[in-house]
Amino acid sequence: MRFWRLAREQLGTMGVLLVLTSCACLLVAGLPRATQASYDEALRRALSSAPAVLADLTVTMESSSREEDLRERAPFDSFDRLWREIMPARLRPLAAAGGHMSAKTIRTPITGTSGQSYINLGWLSDADRRVDWVRGRAPGAIATMRYEGRTIPVFEVGVVEEALSKMELRLGQTKIVGENDHAGVQIVGVFRAKDPADRYWSHHLDVLHVLRLQPLQKHITALVSEAGLGVLSGEERYLTYRWTLPVDARAASARAAGGLRAAVAEFDRLVALQPMGTAAPFRLRTALPKLLGDFLAELSTARTVMFLVLGGLLTVALGVIVLAVRLLAGRIDHALTLARARGGSLRQVAGTGAALTGLAVAPAALAGYALSYLVPGPVLPIVHAGPALVVLVAVGFAAVRLALVHRAPLHERRDDVAAARPSARRITLEVLVVVLASAGAYLLRARRLDDSAGQDPFLLLVPVALTGAAALIILRCYPYPLRLLVRLTARGRAAVPFLGLTRAARARPAGVLPVLILLPALGVSVFAAVISDGIAGTQLQASWQQVGAPIRMTSDIEVPADAIERVRGLAGVEQVVPAQTGEVQIGYGGERAEAIAVDVARWRQILGGTPLDLPALSDGALVSPELRGRGTFEIGWQSRLKLATRGVIESVPGFFTEGKFLVVPIDVQVRPAVNTLLIRGDASLSALARLVPSATVTSQETTLAAIRDDPLTSAVRWALVVVTVALAAYALAAVVLGLMVGAAERARAVSFLRTLGLSERQARRLTVLEILPVILVTALAGLGLGLGLPAALGPAVDLSPYAGDLPVGDYALDLFVPGALAAGLAAVAVLGAYAHTLISGQPRPRRRPPRGRPRRTGHRPAFRAQLGCA
C-alpha–C-alpha distance, residues 666 and 153, integer Å: 55
Domain contains 321: no
User: Residue 811's pLDDT band (boundaries 50, 70, 90)?
Assistant: low
The pLDDT-based confidence of 843 (bands split at 50, 70, 90) is very low
pLDDT of residue 206: 92
Q: Is the pLDDT of residue 280 over 60?
A: yes
Question: What is the per-residue pLDDT for 508?
Answer: 61
Of 383-392, 458-467, 852-861, least confident by mean pLDDT is: 852-861
Q: What is the pLDDT of residue 440?
A: 79
Q: To the nearest 10°, report the CA torsion of 474, 814, 816, 525.
A: -50
Candidates 75, 67, 452, 467; CA nearest to 279 is 67
Confidence at 119, pLDDT banded by 50, 70, 90: very high
Q: How confident is the model at residue 453 (pLDDT cuts 50, 70, 90)?
A: very low
How does residue 603 score in pLDDT terms, banded at 50, 70 and 90? Answer: very high
What is the C-alpha to C-alpha distance for residues 117 and 218, in angstroms, rounded to an integer?
A: 5
Evaluate if residue 141 carries a pLDDT over 80: yes
pLDDT at 653: 92
DSSP string, 458-479: HHHHHHHHHHHHHHHHHHHHTH
Task: Return the number of other C-beta atoms located less than 10 Å from residue 755's C-beta.
Answer: 11
pLDDT band per the 50, 70, 90 thresholds, residue 859: very low
757 part of a folded domain: no
What DSSP element (H or E) covers 282? strand 282-285
- The b-or-e profile of 49-80 (16+ CB within 10 A means b, else e) is ebebbbbbbbbbbebbeeebbbeeeeebeebb
Q: Does 147 fall in a domain? A: yes
pLDDT value at 157 more than 70? yes
- Answer yes or no: are the C-beta atoms of 288 and 256 closer than 8 Å: no
CA dihedral sign, ordered 362, 364, 366, 369? negative
Is residue 238 in some structural domain?
A: yes
Residue 652 lies in a domain: yes
Which DSSP string do the residues of 71-121 spell out, in sequence order? Answer: -SHHHHHHHHHHHHHHS-TTTGGGB-S--EEEEEEES-BBTTSTTSEEEEE
| Res 445: pLDDT | 67
Last residue within a domain, chosen from 670, 693, 716: 693
- Tell me, yes or no, whether 430 lies in a domain: no
Rg of the chain, C-alpha, whole Å = 39
Percent of the chain with pLDDT over 90: 33
Q: Where are the alpha helices (DSSP H) in 636-742?
A: 685-691, 700-708, 711-741
Provide the pLDDT for residue 1. Answer: 56
Smallest Cα–Cα separation from 152: which of 179, 126, 171? 179
Answer yes or no: are the C-beta atoms of 190 and 136 closer than 8 Å: yes
Range with lowest mean pLDDT among 260-269, 324-333, 402-411:
402-411
Task: State the chain's mean pLDDT as an integer.
Answer: 83
Residues 347-398 have pLDDT tens digits of 888 888 899 999 999 999 999 999 999 988 888 888 899 899 999 999 999 9
Which residue, 260, 286, 312, sits at the end of a domain? 286
List the beta bridge partners of residue 104.
122, 240
Give residue 790's pLDDT band: very low, low, confident or very high (50, 70, 90): confident
- Is residue 577 predicted with pLDDT exceeding 90? yes
Q: Is residue 838 part of a domain?
A: no
254 assigned to some structural domain:
yes
Distances (CA, A) of 110 to 66, 249, 359, 824: 23, 40, 86, 78
Residue 835: pLDDT above 50?
A: yes
pLDDT-based confidence at residue 289 (cuts at 50, 70, 90): very high
Instruction: Please tell me the distance from the alpha carbon of residue 698 to that of residue 695, in angstroms, as a whole number.
Output: 10
Cβ atoms of residues 148 and 155 within 8 Å: no
pLDDT at 413: 54
Domain boundary among 254, 286, 318: 286
pLDDT over 80 at 633, yes or no:
yes
Q: Which residues pair with 152 in a beta bridge?
A: 145
Domain count, the chain: 2
Full residue range of the structural domain in which residue 126 is found: 54-286
Q: Which of 92-106, 444-458, 710-724, 851-865 has the lowest mean pLDDT?
A: 851-865
Closest CA to 817 of 465, 513, 540, 537: 537
Whether 249 shows a pLDDT value over 70: the answer reads yes
Which pLDDT does position 846 carry in this prediction?
45
Identify any residues that bridge with 554 across adjacent strands, giving them in sequence order.
Answer: 676, 696
Contact residues for 404 (Cβ-Cβ < 8 A; gap 6+): none
Whole-angstrom Cα distance, residue 509 to residue 472? 10
pLDDT at residue number 367: 94
Q: Is the pLDDT of residue 861 over 70?
A: no
Report which secondary-structure segment, H or E, holds 646: strand 640-648
Please give the pLDDT value at position 309.
78
